[in-house]
Every structure is written in C-alpha cells, then in structure tokens.
Structure 1
Amino acid sequence: MSTPVQSVTEKGNRLKFLWESKQIDEFLADGYAQDACVVDHGTSHKGHEELKKLFEKFIDKCGEYSIVDTTAVSDDCVTQTYKSECEGPISTCKATWNKINDDWKITLEDWN
C-alpha cells in the first residue's frame, strides 16, 4: 500500500503530464475537488468552472513547473510546494491535497 506522499507524488506527475499536454478538462477532473480554490496572488477562484477560465489564461504562458517538496500532514492530507516558470518572475505555490472518496484531490492552491 502506498504512503500518502507516494500517492500524491504519483498523482502530481500525472497532473503535470496533463498540464503540459494542455488537457485542461482532464487536469481539473483528475486533480481538483469540485469546490477547490486557487488563490492567484491574492485573488480567489473557486470551483471547476472558474478554475478552467483561470487555467486557460495561463496554460500557454506557464507550461513548466517543478515539484519542490511533498509532506504528509496526516493520513488524509498532504501539502506540496512547487514552482512555475511563467513569462516574468518565477511563482511558487503551496497546494493542499486531501483524500476524498479514496482519491487524492487538490482542495487549495495558493500562488504567490
């Protein structure tokens, strides 16, 4: 049986592939809770519909990101830090993953 960190790392690698291949719908469905929130430099976006609009703005500008750290907070919560090299300055993100119905989903991303 996989540890929470192993499960999230594996899922994160799949999401990275989906992002880099610009499959936004699958990226959202596979990786984000329905009510997930992304805070983009102080502005909050919640739910798949809003997140899709946000991601469509950035997918061509921010194609690459790397995972910096993955830490288990509990058996059903993992935090992950990654950085993106967009046009302009490098942004960092702290993502919170929660186990929902035996699947790991991002519930919060905070970009700064």
Structure 2
Amino acid sequence: MAGVRVRRVYEEASGDDGARVLVDRVWPRGLSKASAGLDAWCKEVAPSTELRRWYGHDPERYTEFVRRYRAELEEPGRAEALEHLRRLTRSGPLTLLTATVRADISHAAVLAELLR
C-alpha cells in the first residue's frame, strides 16, 4: 500500500504528494481554489461541526476526540467517503490536507492512521 501523509493545505505541493485531498469541511481561509493544487475535496469525511467545535484542537481532549470521530466515521455518508480515500491509497501516495495549525492532532491525523 502506498504511503499516506498529512500536510497543511497552505504548504507548497511536493512532487511526491501523490493524490492531494482536502479533508476539511470548510474551505481554507485566504486560499484560492486555483492555488490549492487539489485532486479532490472530500468534505464528507470531516468531523461534524458540533464535534469540531467541542474539540477546539485542545490537546487534552484529543483522545476523546479520536474516539468520537471514529464513531462518526461509521455513519453511512462518512463511511462511504472514508472508503473513497481507501481506494485512492491503492493507486499511489495520498496526501491528506487540512488548514489546521496542529495537523498532528487533527482529524486528518486520525484519518491517516486509519488508512495506513
């Protein structure tokens, strides 16, 4: 299986990114669609607005966030979006993009772990 990585969408694209997929529900502030260099925007796989607001990227809430987010990923629409990402990993490298400042404690990191 090809590699899965997580990067901030504001970082310059790299030649080894493979498929570049934005996994945020909301379009990144200050970024034009032309400059994003995306292959896809998979907003259906993002956490619910309620969960995102509750979490607020508080490192102390990360473990509980992961538990709740994984439960959300079992819902039909999100499960289908996750399966789409799984299919992408079969054809080469996949880079999950997020606007989050701390990508290491983001939903994208949770997704990458599930896809590896």
Fold in common (TM above 0.5): no
**With CA pairs under 8 Å and 6+ residues apart, which has the higher RCO, 1 or 2?**
2
Normalised by the length of structure 2, the TM-score is 0.25
Normalised by the length of structure 1, the TM-score is 0.26
Q: Which has the higher helix share?
A: 2
Q: Which has the higher strand share?
A: 1
